[in-house]
Amino acid sequence: TVLFAATSIWCGLSPNIEMLIVARAAQGVAGALLTPASLAIISASFGDEIERGRAIGTWSGFTAITAAFGPVLGGWLVENASWRWVFFINLPLAVVVVAVALRGVPESRDESAGRLDFIGAALATLGLGALVFGLIEAPARGWGDPLVLASLVVGAGGLAAFIVAETRVPSPMMPLGLFRSLTFAGANMLTLMLYGAFGGALFWLPFNLIQVQSYSATAAGAALLPAILLLFALSRWTGAFVGQIGAKLPLTIGPTIVAVSFILFALPGVGGSYLTTFFPAAVVLGIGMAITVPPLTTAVMSAVPRHQAGTASGINNAVSRTAGLIAIAVFGVIVATMFDRELTSRLDEIPNLSPAAREAVEAQRPDLAAAQPPEGIDADTATEIDEAIDASFVAGFRVAMIAAAAMSLLGAAAAWRLVEGKDPKPDSMDGPADR
């Protein structure tokens, strides 16, 4: 927490984008230490499965409520103060967390833990970084560009080397032996699919709301409030429920409902009231995630020996972040490809569009919905260009939402096939599953 607060100050004081990127990377390192530790504390503090599920549900609920108000508060701060306050707001929260942790949090540790896995960390960073860079650059440079191809090859090779290294280093950061538990493997497969869909879809939603639907930054941040509030309200109940019926059923039903919400997000065109366009999708999303998230976390934590709760939580957290990272890049390829195809078709339908004006519009293709009609053209043609740009982005957004729905359904299928029913047990509650 102290490191997270310090890096937040660094971010807020950054004088340029290069420094901000470095500071954000350091902040990410600090953030990576928080979630696994918090769940390990819960696992160590609650022995009863139902009580632990209820505690994890409460944890999920408070995570949701902060996620709800974060974008709204961030949008308000950007509009009315400065983007720097988005980072400075973390400081008073960090003071409270440190005070509470020092006074009331019990210590727990894995006495058999070895040295840090620097080799695994380096290979994972190289593999993911190169892979995501290649996916991001591909729409602009082309798939045949040497830099894109080299990045994809290095990324794939780095990830393959990471898997091999984890079978050989003394204390791997991702003990592959944990995946011998079908419940643990299935829960992480669901995490990969669901959080990939969730992260990829919600990355592109604000672009639609702000650049196409003309929402303010604050309104766009508030658009998902119904989903987050439902997740907060229902999480404690669904977290306890898994101790009574098991994880398989909620982890199958929940992602299926989430898939329906992504289909609903794909329906709106340009314009319309929030209550009749994005609100229904947000409500369904909240219900689906509330059914899924606490049971998913409980299943992960219950599938491993208790002394490895922190490791299991760290793996699941890493899977969710990796899923979102890769999905954002993949969905970017989808949106950009569909945008290019649709824009070409729609520009062909504008009768008075001069070759020079068309060239000016097409030069802005990488800007997607932020593209603007060129100056010096008549108002009617400018309006038609604006409509073509907006409709082209919506077309790409719809395909991305359908892809998100498909990923959610794949996650549900993995949970149904692999996750055990009531009372899933790890292979050994006492012995380590390190390799």
DSSP for 294-317? HHHHHHHHHTS-GGGHHHHHHHHH
Phi-psi region of 265 (alpha: psi -120 to 50; beta: other; left: phi over 0): alpha
**Do the beta carbons of residue 407 and residue 194 sit within 8 Å?**
yes
Distance from C-alpha of 151 to C-alpha of 135, rounded to nearest angstrom: 9
**Alpha helices (H) along 208-224:** 217-222
User: Contacts by 74-83 with C-beta closer than 8 Å and gap 24+?
Assistant: 74/217, 74/221, 75/216, 75/217, 75/218, 75/219, 75/220, 75/221, 75/222, 76/218, 78/217, 79/216, 79/217, 79/218
Residue 113 predicted with pLDDT over 60:
no
Q: Are 195 and 324 in contact (CB under 8 A)?
A: yes
Q: Provide the pLDDT for residue 53.
A: 63
Q: State the average pLDDT over residues 325-345.
A: 90
Measured CA to CA, the distance from residue 261 to residue 272 in angstroms comes to: 18
Amino acid in the structure at residue 196: G
Give the chain's mean pLDDT. Answer: 83
Kindly state the tokens that stand for 275: 């209550």
**pLDDT classification of 427: cutoffs 50, 70, 90:** very low
Report, in angstroms and rounded to the nearest whole number, the Rg of the chain calculated over CA atoms.
Answer: 23
How do the residues of the chain divide into helix, strand and coil, expressed in percent and rounded to 5?
A: 80, 0, 20
* Residues, the chain: 435
pLDDT of residue 167 exceeding 90, the answer is no
Q: Which pLDDT value is given to residue 60?
A: 66
CA-to-CA separations, 145 to 152, 338, 417, in angstroms, rounded: 11, 20, 40
pLDDT tens sequence across 271-306 = 888 999 999 999 999 999 989 988 888 888 778 777
CB-side exposure of 133: number of CA atoms within 13 Å? Answer: 18
Residue 429's pLDDT is what? 43
Nearest to 186 by CA among 290, 287, 296, 313: 296
Instruction: Kindly report the pTM of this predicted structure.
Output: 0.78
Q: pLDDT (tens digit, 9 = 90+) per residue, 247-259?
A: 889 999 999 999 9
